[in-house]
Amino acid sequence: MILNHLWGLYTHPNEEWQSIDDRHESYFYSFSHIAIISLIPAIMSYYSSAHLGWSIGVGDIIKLTQKSAALMSIGMYFGLMIGVLALAILIHELAKAFDATPSYTQSLELAAYTATPLFMVGFAAFYPVLWFVMVIGLVGLAYSIYLLYTGTPILMHIPEGKGFIYASSVVTCGLVLLAILMATSVILWSMGMGPVYSG
C-alpha cells in the first residue's frame, strides 16, 4: 500500500525510518506517495475557498468563485509536487558535502515522508479560520522538521552529528524553496492569475 508508512511516522518515527531504509521502494512508489498526499491541501483549499469561506478574524467571510478556487487548487497541487521533487534534488546534491551517497529514490523518500505532516495540515481547512489553520500549520511544520532530523542519519547512513548539520542545511534550502514558490505566486497574481472573489 502506497501510504503504509504514514501511521508509523506518527507513532514510532525512528523505527519507521529504519523500516523505510531496510526495504527501499521504487522511485515511482515514493512519487505516488507525494502525489496522493498533495491532494489533501489542494482539495481542501478548493472546498474551503469555494464553499465554506475563510474568516481572517475581522470583516466578512471571504469566498472565491468555484472556477478561481479550482485553478488555485490545481496550481497549489503542482506547486507542492514540484517543491518536493526540487527538495529531493537538493537533498541528493547536498549529500556530496557530507560524504553520503544516496540514490535519487532515497532522497525522494526523505523529502516525501518529511513533507507529509505539513501536507496533512490541509485537513485543518475544514475549519477555515486563519488563526486556527496557522496554529495547526506550525505544528505540522515542527513535526516535519523533527522527521527530517530523525530520518536524515538513518536514510543517508551518516553519523547523527553530521546528520544534524545535513538536516539543518536541508531546512535552509527548504526555506529558500518556499520563498521562491511564494515569489512565483506573487508574480502570477500580478499577471492576472490571482483569486477572483465571489459576490
**CA gyration radius, the chain:** 18
What global pTM score does this model have? Answer: 0.88
Residue 8 C-alpha cell reads as: 508509523
Looking at residue 182, what is its pLDDT? Answer: 78
123-164: pLDDT as tens digits: 998 888 889 999 999 999 999 999 999 999 999 988 888 889
Residue 60 C-alpha cell reads as: 466578512
Q: Which residue has the higher pLDDT, 4 or 89?
A: 89
Question: By C-alpha distance, which of 183, 184, 182, 178 is closest to 84?
Answer: 178
154-175: pLDDT as tens digits: 999 888 888 899 999 999 888 8
